[in-house]
Structures are given as C-alpha cells and as structure tokens.
Amino acid sequence: MLLNTSKTNLLTFSLRKKVTTEPITIANTDIAEVESTRLLGVILDQHLTFTKHVDAILSKAKSGFHALVQLKRAGVNTPSLILFYKSRIISVLSYAAPVWYPYLSKQNKELLEKYERLCLKIMLPHIDHYTERLQFCGLSDICVHLDILCLKYVSKVRSDPAHPHHSDNIIAQTSVSRSGRRVLPQKPACRTALRSKSIFCKHV
C-alpha cells in the first residue's frame, strides 16, 4: 500500500496538557498535525479522552432519535419501537465500545445515559421511572450494556490463543505452582492511570 501524503495526518498521544511535536515531511510534503482523527469509525484524540467520539456518535444517533419520535407519533406499537431503538440507536452508541468506553469520564457517561433516558421517555411516556422503562424493554442501562460488551471482548481474547492480544503480559492467566496448587491470575502492572482503565486491566 502506497502512502497518500495528502490524506495523512500527524497525531501525537500524550498525557501532558500541551503537546509539542517536531514537524514531519514525507516526499516533500508537510504532514498536517491534528488534535484528533477518525480511525475505522472511532475518533482518537491526543489524550484518549474520547470526548469527541462521544459527541460524534450522539450526533449520528440524532437522526435515529428523530425517526423514533415520528414513529411514535404515527402510532407504531411499542415492541416495534423497542426493536427500532435497539437496531438503529443502540448499535450506533455501542460500536467498537471496548476501544473507547473504558476511558470515558463521568460526564461523558452521563451524556450517554441522558440520551438513553430521553429515548425511553419517548417510547414509554406512560411509565414514570427510568429503571422501570429499562425493565419493560428488557434492557440494561447504557453504561452497563457497554461494560458487558467490554467484558465479552476480553473473554473472547482470553479464549483465543491465536488472538494478538492473547499474551501473559496483557491477559493474566491462571497458573499452576510447582506444588500443584492453582495460582490466581494477577492483574497486569499499571504504571499510569490511563493504563489502569484498559479493559485488560479492569476485567481480569
């Protein structure tokens, strides 16, 4: 694959508030430096806060929300509305969750929950409480749902020796001591707070 310099950006990841980098030139073309970029549908920013990604998926889900409102006004039955919500809205909010969800701030998680509360209120105005609406739909709240997706991904990696992340350095494995006793897995060492948020450290 040939590098297209006109479509290439420079993004430096750092925990520092102010990031300074040296300019890069490839084939006499200066590579544009950016604070965030989209990779396979996920927006990465310099500090891996994924705030811009949350803003983007909420914006993308708005068309689904407006459609949900119109379907409700048209008299579509509740089971069909729930099916639409799961397939058109939840799918957008859940895409690639193991990559970005563990790093979200409390504020970003509250934004996701607020959006879900609004959608459920549109579908089920006759039910007063958020938790009761979730139970009626057979759903977990959005943050629990995303956390479960992360856990499922970790389980998949742990059960697949051919997976590139299946490593003792990333996925702690139960081992057996010389005496024959099983030794419980130890969490990978985390030198930074950012590393500790990784799904491979949280779901061991």
Tell me the domain boundaries of the chain: 5-34, 51-143
Q: What percent of the chain has pLDDT over 90?
A: 45
Report DSSP state, residue 167. S
**For the whole model, what pTM was predicted?**
0.78
**Higher pLDDT pick, 155 / 187:** 155
pLDDT at 83 over 90: yes
Report pLDDT for 114.
Answer: 94
The residue among 59, 34, 31 whose CA lies nearest residue 44 is: 34
- Among 1-15, 52-66, 93-107, the range scoring the smallest mean pLDDT is 1-15
147-171: per-residue pLDDT in tens?
A: 999 888 888 888 888 877 766 445 4
How many angstroms separate the Cα of 150 from the Cα of each of 2, 79, 94, 146? 34, 27, 10, 6
